[in-house]
Chain A
Amino acid sequence: MADGMLLLQAAADTANAYRDFPWIGSRAAVWIAAEVHLMFAAFVLGVPIFAVVAEAIGIFGKDQRYDRLSKEFTRLLLIAYSATAIWGAVFVFLLSTLYSGLWAYLTRIFGPSMWVYVSIFFLESFTLYLYYYGWDRWKYGRAKIVHWCLGILLNIWGTIVMFIADSWLTYMMTPPRDITPQTSPASIKIWHAILNHTWMPINIHRLIGNVVFGGAIVGAYASYRFLASRSDEERAHYDWMGYVGNFIAMSALIVLPFAGYWLGREIYQYDQSLGITMMGGFMSWLWVIQAFLIAVLFLAGNYYLWVGMGRIPGAERYQPYTKWLLVVLVLGALVWGTPHTMIADSRELAAMGGSHHPLLGALGVMSAKNTAVNLMILATFLSFLLYRRANIRPTVPWAKAGTRIQAAMFVIAAGVVLFFGIRGYFVEAIVRIGYSVYQVGAVLACIVFVTLIDVLMARGAQSLGAIQWGKMPPRSQYALFILAVTFTWLMGLMGFARSGIRQHWHVYGVIQDMTPYAATPALGYAAIMISTCVLIFLSLVGFIFWLGGLAEKSTFVPSTVEAPHVGH
């Protein structure tokens, strides 16, 4: 009798907790709204970082083109903010009407933080208006510094807003361990819920990811304007802008995996089974797709640099090396994409001859993958270095020795990476995991010290000719589009991984998903959803770009001086 009453109560609770959405279902509706909102949010959080850095280069480097570049993007932000807010409202309305039980639970815990969120979003919007509309008024002297500080304030508001929203979603993924299905949400302290295992790792990962994303979208915008340019000067301006966007995206991308490792480690520490579901369970194929996407990013980013060397006098000295860099990147990508332990049925296992492929299984382990990705990062850095010094000849007396030291650093870093990669096959897993620190350390040390030597060596260097901005074949611009699409798709894929590891739980281990959509879909369905979201986002961004061009003439400035390399 008691059981029957409980069943009736459970049925009543379930009936009140959910509603369905016509045609596509409630899960797909919330998925699209959340994902497109997130993409716009990444755009409006990433581009201000880009804008404030560009403005700083303009102020302190006394280069007006960076200032105007910054303003051009801030103008796009105005429209993008509206789109972010609209999609945010769509998301909240869908969540509160379709998953009202979950919504009530979350608001019971996080209500006060939601009020703070709205207040800061309000402040952020008005800071943005002040930042953009005050651009020409606060243009010189101390007023310009105040204006730049407004840009920093804009970023602070944006970061706080993101941190608050991150606390809600990370709570759903890793609620503190003492919270059980029986815990009343009213008894949960808000700070206890916010300070969950994955809150800070997600914050940092998203912060860096937003910079990557902002750079990629800037690159795509520049390539669109480049292809639409009607004069050489306009083409030169947008060629330069595309280079800057790509440089920022690729530089931040190199750091992103380290934040990803931290997030992954925290997930494992919170609950081993969550980590296993993510890396080795039903999501194991997802990482093969991720490896493919990152290979595309590396190849497209390097291809853009190699093609760009065609417009640099003196670059022909280095072009023969690019084919070897391509070999390293392709081999690295193939190793990185090699599966290791996959879910397979007995028939598949028998066909493969065991749980691992007899030959390729050895390449699927972390020793091989870490080695491959570190060598790919080194190859990409070498591409950038060759690009950077393509049109100069160092004149410092120690130039030859400096170049040899740089070469030795590359060889040592690659040697360390290979040594620990191979040694990793002969030691315990716990020792092997530690080796990745040495590999990453060697690569980062190489990047830092080689760059330092290069900067010192470039002082007073003889120029072999100015970079001929604008003299880029159109195919190079399509590489920037591929980069933007791939970054956006990758963001959707990783969002699916993060959210999907909860499986049939709204709040992992606390509130179960009782809808017909509780099963976490396979990658094929997820890919269709991700592509749909990317298409909606890019269509709207395209519209915003078009509006940006309609609202105001482009801000390119005919230049009489050579546009500098980033980092010079």
Chain B
Amino acid sequence: MWATNLRIIGVVLGTLALYTLIANKIPQVQSEVPRALSLGANVTPEQLVSAGDQLYHGAGGCTACHGLGTRAPNLLTDEKGQGPVGARCGKREAGKDCKAYLYESLTSPRAYVVAGYEPIMPEMGRILSPQQLWALVAFLESNGGTVDVSASDIPSSTTSTTSTSSTPSAGIAGGSTDPMTIIRGAGCTGCHKINGEGGAIGPDLTHVGSRLSANLIRESILTPDAKIAKGFEKFKGIMPKMFGNQLTAAQLEALVQFLASHK
């Protein structure tokens, strides 16, 4: 019986050893934690690019989609003859320079979905701090373009890695309370149409005041999934939920009153 027991133990240990060995022989990829960046007022473009490079290839998780050629556009190499991202980012949206386009693509990725790809990119502002976002922008610009991110773009240092607690307190669009500036700055027109301007993914806001009260408009901005407009059910979950953190109180009220008056 001892021989049988030893054989059983041998089979069990041998099987475990085989699986463990195979799992250790394949490429080892660890999911890193995005490290907080502490960039001083005299940070150089090279330091930003270097930090962005590490994020892009590591904790940012960008390489899970970008560069494979199937899920998302190539960024570091040519994409359909337009060169790497730094060379093409300034031409993507009229009136928007490369830096602004890249930053908005990271924070509101659904506003600029490249034709032929699905809107699968998460809002990086929920995952990375503003310092990390600007470092990524600098790195992407450095691939085929000119780095123009500087310390002045980066809000004062905070070590938090969640955007919800690290959003600049000035609010969207530099804290402007002009409703159309807020709408454009927040990327609303990426999905919503208002006065003929914008996309058709979300409900048209031109006459939103005739459909919704000010309270409901406020609720829709702060918790977009609470009530879904009829006919737009399949887009549930697409609208970002961070406007409550990004807009200042004055901006939110200006926006709500502006939309409520659009009857």
The answer on A and B forming one complex is yes
A117 at the interface (CB under 8 A from B): no
A178 at the interface (CB under 8 A from B): yes
When C-beta atoms are compared, the residue in chain A nearest to B118 turns out to be A272
A224: which B residues are within 8 A, CB to CB? Answer: 8
When C-beta atoms are compared, the residue in chain A nearest to B70 turns out to be A341
A524: which B residues are within 8 A, CB to CB? Answer: 23-24, 26, 28
Most buried by A among B16, B30, B241: B16
CA distance A516 to B161 in the complex (A): 15
B17: which A residues are within 8 A, CB to CB? Answer: 531
Most buried by B among A3, A182, A273, A526: A273
Contact with A along B1-26 (1 / 0, CB 8 A): 10010011001110111011011101
CA distance A273 to B162 in the complex (A): 16
When C-beta atoms are compared, the residue in chain A nearest to B158 turns out to be A3
A534 at the interface (CB under 8 A from B): yes
CA distance A363 to B226 in the complex (A): 43
Instruction: Check if B120 sits within 8 Å of A273, measured CB to CB.
Output: yes
Most buried by A among B15, B120, B157: B15
B31 at the interface (CB under 8 A from A): yes
CA distance A99 to B97 in the complex (A): 46
Size category of the binding interface on chain B: 35 or more
CA distance A227 to B4 in the complex (A): 7
Choose one: B24, B33, B120, B160; the contact of A272 (CB below 8 Å): B120
Query: Would you call the interface of chain B mostly helix, strand, loop, or mixed?
Result: loop
A346 vs chain B, min Cβ distance (A): 8
Instruction: Check if A534 sits within 8 Å of B28, measured CB to CB.
Output: no
B122: which A residues are within 8 A, CB to CB? Answer: 271-273
B65: which A residues are within 8 A, CB to CB? Answer: 276, 280
Number of interface residues of A (CB under 8 A): 62
Instruction: Check if B20 sits within 8 Å of A180, measured CB to CB.
Output: no
Instruction: Check if A281 sits within 8 Å of B26, measured CB to CB.
Output: no
**With known contacts A281-B31, A519-B33, A489–B64 Cβ distance under 8 A:** no
B174 at the interface (CB under 8 A from A): no
B71 at the interface (CB under 8 A from A): yes
Choose one: B12, B33, B67; the contact of A538 (CB below 8 Å): B12
Which residues of chain B from 152 to 189 have a CB within 8 Å of any chain A CB?
Answer: 156-162, 164-165
CA distance A285 to B29 in the complex (A): 9
Instruction: Check if B31 sits within 8 Å of A282, measured CB to CB.
Output: yes
**With known contacts A3-B156, A228-B1, A276-B71, A289–B64 Cβ distance under 8 A:** no
B86 vs chain A, min Cβ distance (A): 16
B245: which A residues are within 8 A, CB to CB? Answer: 182
Instruction: Check if A478 sits within 8 Å of B7, measured CB to CB.
Output: yes
A213 at the interface (CB under 8 A from B): no
**With known contacts A277-B61, A293-B19, A512–B162 Cβ distance under 8 A:** yes
B26: which A residues are within 8 A, CB to CB? Answer: 285, 288-289, 523-524
B225 at the interface (CB under 8 A from A): yes
CA distance A509 to B223 in the complex (A): 16
Contact with A along B220-258 (1 / 0, CB 8 A): 000101100000000001000100010000000000000
A288: which B residues are within 8 A, CB to CB? Answer: 26
B68 at the interface (CB under 8 A from A): yes
CA distance A526 to B225 in the complex (A): 37
Contact with A along B68-85 (1 / 0, CB 8 A): 111100001000000000
A443 vs chain B, min Cβ distance (A): 28
B16: which A residues are within 8 A, CB to CB? Answer: 485, 489, 531, 534-535
When C-beta atoms are compared, the residue in chain A nearest to B3 turns out to be A227
Choose one: B11, B121, B156, B159; the contact of A478 (CB below 8 Å): B11
Instruction: Check if A519 sits within 8 Å of B32, measured CB to CB.
Output: yes
Instruction: Check if A177 sits within 8 Å of B241, measured CB to CB.
Output: yes
B63 at the interface (CB under 8 A from A): yes
A259 vs chain B, min Cβ distance (A): 23
When C-beta atoms are compared, the residue in chain A nearest to B23 turns out to be A527
B99 at the interface (CB under 8 A from A): no
**With known contacts A178-B226, A273-B120, A341-B70, A282–B29 Cβ distance under 8 A:** yes
**With known contacts A273-B120, A277-B61, A523–B15 Cβ distance under 8 A:** no
Choose one: A227, A342, A526; the contact of B23 (CB below 8 Å): A526
A485: which B residues are within 8 A, CB to CB? Answer: 11-12, 15-16
Instruction: Check if A177 sits within 8 Å of B64, measured CB to CB.
Output: no
Which residues of chain B from 36 to 68 have a CB within 8 Å of any chain A CB?
Answer: 57, 61, 63-65, 67-68
Instruction: Check if A181 sits within 8 Å of B162, measured CB to CB.
Output: yes
Choose one: B8, B161, B237, B241; the contact of A227 (CB below 8 Å): B8
A357 at the interface (CB under 8 A from B): no
A287 vs chain B, min Cβ distance (A): 11
A276 vs chain B, min Cβ distance (A): 6
A282 vs chain B, min Cβ distance (A): 4
When C-beta atoms are compared, the residue in chain B nearest to A348 turns out to be B27
CA distance A538 to B16 in the complex (A): 11
CA distance A256 to B241 in the complex (A): 35
**With known contacts A177-B241, A227-B8, A523–B28 Cβ distance under 8 A:** yes
A178: which B residues are within 8 A, CB to CB? Answer: 223, 225-226, 241
CA distance A500 to B71 in the complex (A): 22
**With known contacts A289-B23, A485-B15, A7–B164 Cβ distance under 8 A:** no
B126 at the interface (CB under 8 A from A): yes
A343 at the interface (CB under 8 A from B): yes
B19: which A residues are within 8 A, CB to CB? Answer: 289, 293, 486, 489, 527, 530-531
CA distance A70 to B26 in the complex (A): 43
A342: which B residues are within 8 A, CB to CB? Answer: 27
**With known contacts A280-B64, A285-B29, A509-B126, A177–B69 Cβ distance under 8 A:** no
A393 at the interface (CB under 8 A from B): no
CA distance A528 to B223 in the complex (A): 43
Which residues of chain A from 279 to 305 have a CB within 8 Å of any chain B CB?
Answer: 280-282, 285, 288-289, 292-293
A434 at the interface (CB under 8 A from B): no
Instruction: Check if A281 sits within 8 Å of B61, measured CB to CB.
Output: yes
A530: which B residues are within 8 A, CB to CB? Answer: 19-20
CA distance A293 to B20 in the complex (A): 12
B160 vs chain A, min Cβ distance (A): 8
Contact with B along A503-543 (1 / 0, CB 8 A): 11000010011000011111110111011001100100000
Contact with A along B135-164 (1 / 0, CB 8 A): 000000000000000000000111111101
B106 vs chain A, min Cβ distance (A): 13
**With known contacts A228-B4, A281-B31, A520-B30, A486–B15 Cβ distance under 8 A:** yes
CA distance A531 to B34 in the complex (A): 29
A157 at the interface (CB under 8 A from B): no
CA distance A282 to B13 in the complex (A): 28
A293 vs chain B, min Cβ distance (A): 7
10 A/B residue pairs, CB under 8 Å, sorted by A: A271-B122, A276-B120, A282-B61, A285-B26, A289-B22, A478-B11, A481-B12, A523-B28, A524-B24, A531-B20
- Contact surface of A with B, Cβ cutoff 8 Å: 3, 7, 10, 177-178, 180-182, 224, 227-228, 271-273, 276-277, 280-282, 285, 288-289, 292-293, 341-346, 349, 354-356, 474, 478, 481-482, 485-486, 489, 500, 503-504, 509, 512-513, 518-524, 526-528, 530-531, 534-535, 538
Given pairs A276-B64, A281-B64, 13 additional interface contacts (CB within 8 A) = A3-B156, A177-B241, A181-B162, A182-B164, A271-B122, A272-B121, A280-B64, A280-B68, A282-B61, A343-B29, A354-B69, A503-B33, A527-B20
Q: Enumerate the 9 nearest inter-chain pairs by beta-carbon distance, A residue then B residue, closest first.
A: A527-B23, A522-B28, A281-B64, A524-B24, A273-B122, A520-B31, A272-B120, A504-B33, A282-B29
